Amino acid sequence: MADAARDAILPHFRLPALVAANKEEGGFDPVTEGDRAAERAMRAVLAEHRPQDGIFGEEYGQSEGTSGLTWVLDPIDGTRGFISGTPTWGVLIALSDSTGPIFGIVDQPYIKERFVGGFGEAYVNGPHGRRDLQCRSDSTLSDAILFTTFPEVGSAQEGAAFKAVSDKVKLTRYGMDCYAYALVATGQVDLVIEACLNAYDIQGPMAVVQAAGGIVTDWQGGPAHDGGRVIAAANARVHAEALAILKQY
């Protein structure tokens, strides 16, 4: 599925004539033919190999299955980055049961880097070859690197909560979309804090981070697989320290 999505997307990337339609009235939520083509390609693979499974995709919605398993697909997470030409967007694939994701992929087609987590494995295959994934186990909030996608995070209150955490960390960076979660899994980054996520935004990255030893919850410490306010942390200590601040908001 990830290979099929790569083949469908790359002909559209950095194409001067690429057209981005807007899905959000009163705002800007772009979608391109690259998004749609990638999801169609992944659905075609599933129709051939896993017709009994359900599918929940960003562009073509939900179809029920009979197996109790659902494939959760975001064909291009970070379409704003995609239409800007940055290589920080990715293809997100998750396999989920009633408890949440049990397997996930974050794939960056342009730099040919694929992060995989689940079924006892956590690895990245990319420019440096195949390597195991392992979150940082010894980081604390004061020496943490923190990411989020949008500087405003969400509402004014959510932005204030994020700033309160940001004031305590070593470094804060913005705009990485799903790639930030992959960096948590590699041991490069310690925290990702976001709001207003959908299930297809988080389930693939969530599976990868958890397989690499990290923790992904909502801002109250509960399940995060349905989206909303999400914190991904490299280890239990940095998660607890950041969560204690977020809970105040």
Whether 215 and 163 map to the same domain: the answer is yes
Q: How confident is the model at residue 224 (pLDDT cuts 50, 70, 90)?
A: very high
Q: How confident is the model at residue 22 (pLDDT cuts 50, 70, 90)?
A: confident
Among 90, 111, 132, the domain-final residue is 132
Among 67, 101, 132, the domain-final residue is 132
Whether 125 and 100 map to the same domain: the answer is yes
**Residue pair 43/60 in contact by the 8 Å Cβ criterion:** yes
**Which CATH number do you get for residue 148?**
3.40.190.80
Mean per-residue pLDDT for 205-220?
A: 98
The predicted pLDDT at position 237 comes to 98
Give strand ranges (E) for the chain. Answer: 20-22, 30-32, 54-57, 61-63, 70-77, 90-97, 100-108, 113-118, 121-126, 129-132, 145-148, 171-174, 191-197, 215-218, 228-233
Whether 122 and 148 map to the same domain: the answer is no
The predicted pLDDT at position 71 comes to 98
Q: Across all residues in the chain, what is the average pLDDT?
A: 96
Whether 103 and 201 map to the same domain: the answer is no
Whether 16 and 78 map to the same domain: the answer is yes
DSSP letter at 11 equals G
Whether 128 and 151 map to the same domain: the answer is no
Among 99, 132, 165, the domain-final residue is 132
Whether 219 and 237 map to the same domain: the answer is yes
Amino acid, single-letter form, for residue 165 = V
Whether 40 and 93 map to the same domain: the answer is yes
Read off the pLDDT of residues 144-173 as tens digits, 9 standing for 90 and up. 999 999 999 999 999 999 999 999 999 999
Whether 109 and 150 map to the same domain: the answer is no
Give the span between the Cα atoms of 96 and 71, in whole angstroms. Answer: 6
Whether 228 and 146 map to the same domain: the answer is yes
Q: Which domain holds residue 47?
A: 2-132
- The percentage of the chain sitting over the pLDDT mark of 90, rounded to a whole number, equals 93
Annotated binding site: which residue ranges? 58, 74, 76-77, 201
Q: How confident is the model at residue 21 (pLDDT cuts 50, 70, 90)?
A: confident
Mean per-residue pLDDT for 33-48?
A: 97
Whether 125 and 166 map to the same domain: the answer is no
The predicted pLDDT at position 158 comes to 97
Annotated binding site for Mg(2+): which residue ranges? 58, 74, 76-77, 201
Whether 155 and 118 map to the same domain: the answer is no
Number of domains in the chain: 2
The predicted pLDDT at position 187 comes to 98
Residues contacting 157, CB < 8 A, separation 6+: 249
The predicted pLDDT at position 26 comes to 72
Can you say whether residue 144 is alpha, beta or left, with left for phi > 0 and alpha for psi between -120 and 50 degrees? beta
Is the pLDDT assigned to residue 30 strictly greater than 90? no
**Which CATH number do you get for residue 61?**
3.30.540.10
